[in-house]
């Protein structure tokens, strides 16, 4: 109970940071040329998944498999062990030897299938097996997998997931929002030559600090007015 309260308090404190990251991400995306062939290919990938999701089938099993796999990877990264792993078309469950907010929330901000295809492309490129066609296919599937991640994650979050309830709604949503922006920026930066991940982080930090400083000054003004 105390831990959940502290996380909720931390989540409230992080709201200005979320606003700062949101503004930085908007500027980050705005720097992508609207006439970029790469952007158009990614847009086609996003549209292709949306049409598939709406008119063909919601790939629930594929999402659950990826979701629970990220729990496993996060557990290993934190030095824990996986006791059991279960995936079905209706849901999944992973029992681990330890847990924390990173293990609980990681599937909501790690687009696992995007993460998987990235190294595959890098390996092919290092072997000299890539060309403009392969690059276009890669960017297309980046769009597909990112759309898959965000659409399915949005669906799942509305179902009151135990992972989110454990960490508290405020802390969970703020953390998921910020980390999703960071992950997407990290994915986009190597693809689009006119944007920089480092610049995004710098801008997000400056925006966040600016908001915190404004809140601090406003708070002091209110206190001084009350004490006067």
> What tens digit of pLDDT does each residue of 174-207 get?
999 999 999 999 988 888 878 899 999 999 999 9
How much is the pLDDT for 7? 85
Q: Are 46 and 143 in contact (CB under 8 A)?
A: yes
Q: Which residue has the tokens 């000054």?
A: 217
How much is the pLDDT for 73? 93
In a domain, 227, yes or no: no
In a domain, 225, yes or no: no
How much is the pLDDT for 228? 67
**pTM score of the predicted model:** 0.88
Q: Reply yes or no on whether the pLDDT at 133 is more than 90.
A: no
How much is the pLDDT for 201? 96
In a domain, 199, yes or no: no
| CA atoms of 74 and 77, how far apart (whole Å) | 5
| CA atoms of 49 and 206, how far apart (whole Å) | 35
How much is the pLDDT for 2? 59
Q: Per the structure, how many domains does the chain have?
A: 1
Angle between helices 2-13 and 15-30 (to 10 degrees): 40
In a domain, 205, yes or no: no
In a domain, 29, yes or no: yes
State the alpha helices, DSSP H only, in 81-196. Answer: 101-109, 112-126, 132-157, 162-167, 169-191
Q: Are 177 and 154 in contact (CB under 8 A)?
A: no
Residue 84 sits at φ, ψ, to 5 deg, of: -150, 155
| CA atoms of 183 and 187, how far apart (whole Å) | 6
In a domain, 43, yes or no: yes
Average pLDDT of 216-228?
Answer: 86
| CA atoms of 73 and 90, how far apart (whole Å) | 22
Percentage of residues in the chain with pLDDT exceeding 70?
97
pLDDT averaged over every residue in the chain: 89
- Looking at per-residue pLDDT, the higher value among 227 and 104 belongs to 104
- Token readout for 34 is 């609207």
- The per-residue pLDDT for range 147-163, each reduced to its tens digit, is 999 999 998 888 777 78
Among 13-17, 111-115, 141-145, 162-166, name the one with the lowest average pLDDT.
Answer: 162-166
Please state the separation of Cα 48 from the chain's center in Å: 21
Q: Reply yes or no on whether the pLDDT at 45 is more than 90.
A: yes
Among 19-28, 32-41, 65-74, name the one with the lowest average pLDDT.
Answer: 32-41
Instruction: Provide the domain limits for residue 32.
Output: 2-192
- Looking at per-residue pLDDT, the higher value among 125 and 30 belongs to 30
Q: Reply yes or no on whether the pLDDT at 39 is more than 90.
A: no
Q: Which residue has the tokens 């006119």?
A: 194
In a domain, 86, yes or no: yes
| CA atoms of 103 and 139, how far apart (whole Å) | 29
Q: Using alpha carbons only, what angle is made at residue 112 by residues 97 and 106, rounded to the nearest 5 degrees?
A: 45
In a domain, 216, yes or no: no
Residue 203: which residues within 8 A CB-CB, separation 6 or more? 23, 24, 27, 28
How much is the pLDDT for 174? 94
């Amino acid at each position: 109970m105390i831990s959940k309260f502290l996380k909720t308090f931390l989540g409230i404190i992080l709201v200005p940071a979320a606003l700062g990251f949101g503004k930085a991400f908007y500027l980050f995306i705005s720097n992508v040329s609207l006439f970029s062939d790469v952007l158009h290919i990614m847009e086609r990938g996003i549209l292709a998944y949306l049409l598939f999701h709406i008119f063909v089938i919601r790939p629930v099993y594929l999402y659950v498999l990826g979701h629970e796999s990220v729990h496993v990877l996060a557990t290993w990264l934190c030095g824990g062990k996986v006791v059991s792993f279960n995936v079905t078309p209706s849901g999944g469950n992973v029992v681990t030897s330890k847990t924390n907010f990173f293990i609980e929330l990681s599937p909501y901000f790690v687009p696992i299938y995007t993460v998987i295809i990235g190294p595959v492309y890098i390996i092919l490129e290092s072997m000299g097996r890539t060309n403009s066609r392969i690059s276009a296919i890669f960017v297309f599937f980046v769009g597909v997998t990112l759309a898959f991640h965000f659409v399915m994650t949005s669906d799942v979050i509305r179902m009151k997931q135990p992972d989110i309830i454990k960490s508290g709604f405020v802390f969970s949503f703020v953390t998921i929002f910020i980390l999703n922006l960071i992950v997407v920026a990290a994915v986009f930066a190597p693809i689009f030559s006119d944007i920089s991940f480092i610049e995004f982080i710098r801008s997000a930090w400056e925006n966040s600090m600016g908001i915190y400083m404004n809140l601090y000054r406003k708070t002091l003004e209110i206190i001084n007015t009350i004490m006067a």
